[in-house]
Amino acid sequence: MYIYADVVLLVNIVMNSIILVLTGWAAGCNFKIWRIIAAAFLGGIYALGEVTGEFVLLYTPLVKLIASVAILFIAFGKRRWRSLIISLAWFYIMSILAGGAVFGWLIFTNSSSALPGNNQGWLSVTWYHLAAGVVLVVMLFLVALRRMRTDITQRQLIFPVTVYYEDRQVSLSALLDTGNRLFSASGQTPVILVDFESITEVLNEKVKNYLRERPSSQWLVELGQCGDPAWLARIQCVPYRAVGCSSILLAFKPDRVMVINKDRVIETQSVVIGIYSGSLSAGDKYNALLHPRVLECGSDQEGANACA
């Protein structure tokens, strides 16, 4: 059996380059193509030595880890420890995904000849199998990366919000809704939209029973049947437009609302709580929609500024 060193080296350079590029994208590392190719070449030389079966001591787990760090150093330059660990983790994840994709495609196309322990299966790997495996892993990576970035971005836009009403309070997870244009009927006070089941924690039994005993379309129509005059005095109407229709949303004015924005605490009384009868998030990641105007108003630890 003959092993062509130039073929093994070329295959490793190509695969290593793809793996390093994917690692850079996933870990958020800036890179230059020449550094990627240089690192891939070093990885190819290292892999070629393992194929020859010599220099066994250079292929222990510890030495392989050191070699991986060296490859990442060449590809992405000097990095902090935390960034290096993240890059190393992504490097191994991408290597496993790429190898698994090629192996899976080989099994799919070559049936039992590519089962583990059958060297003939690995010898039958062609550029076609490598290309198919790379396409599969890139597609999976792009789908996963897009989902992860969406989740990360969404988490960055979720703020802890506490609503105070009478002697009760409720803590919410509010997604900053940059498209939120809801204001009170006067057009001055911003509206935070909250799930019905979440906001009931600050409402007394009379109000909760009134809202639960009738559909949301009748909440405003039958307000006279609500037995809580204090809450009725806080009621406000919020006009809104949806696709193909216009309506009015039931809302009330709380005592105050507190929003935590990183290291800044915002408290304001100039806000209205709109009650949404359904669920705002299918995955229960948040239960309120935060009006962007709220982050611009209120008082914080450094002083106060009013939001009309």
Q: What is the pLDDT of residues 108-156, one digit of tens each?
A: 666 444 444 544 444 455 666 667 666 777 777 777 667 666 665 556 7
The residue among 14 and 171 whose pLDDT is bigger is 171
Question: Is there a single domain that holds both residue 199 and residue 279?
Answer: yes
Q: Residue 285: enclosing H or E segment and its boundaries?
A: none
Domain that holds residue 150: 5-155
Say if residue 147 is in the same domain as residue 177. no
Percent with pLDDT over 90 in the chain = 16
* Bridge partners (DSSP) listed for residue 225: none
Number of domains in the chain: 2
- Rounded CA-CA distance 110/106 in Å is 6
pLDDT digits (tens, 9 = 90+) for 237-296: 888 876 666 788 899 999 999 998 877 888 998 899 999 988 887 667 888 999 988 887
Residue 266 pairs in a beta bridge with 259
Q: Which residue type, as a one-letter code, is found at position 237?
A: C
Cβ proximity of 145 and 259 under 8 Å? no
Same-domain status, 172 and 140:
no
Burial string for 218-233 (b: 16+ CB within 10 Å, else e) reads ebeeeeeebebeebee
Q: Does 82 have pLDDT greater than 80?
A: yes
Of residues 117 and 233, which shows the higher confidence score? 233
* Cβ contact 288:198 at 8 Å: yes
Last residue of a domain, one of 155, 181, 213: 155
Q: What is the pLDDT of residue 127?
A: 61
Averaged over 217-237, what is the pLDDT? Answer: 88
Give me the amino acid identity at 54. Answer: E
- 199 & 185 share domain: yes
pLDDT per residue over 165-223, tens digit each? 988 999 999 988 877 788 888 767 899 999 999 999 999 999 999 999 988 888 888 88
- Mean pLDDT over 50-68 rounds to 79
80 SS3 class: coil
What type of residue sits at position 145? L
- Say yes or no: 143 and 268 in one domain: no
**Residue 302, pLDDT score:** 40
Q: Quote the radius of gyration of the chain (alpha carbons, Å).
A: 30
Residues near 36 by beta carbon (within 8 Å), at least 6 away in sequence: 17, 20, 21, 24, 75
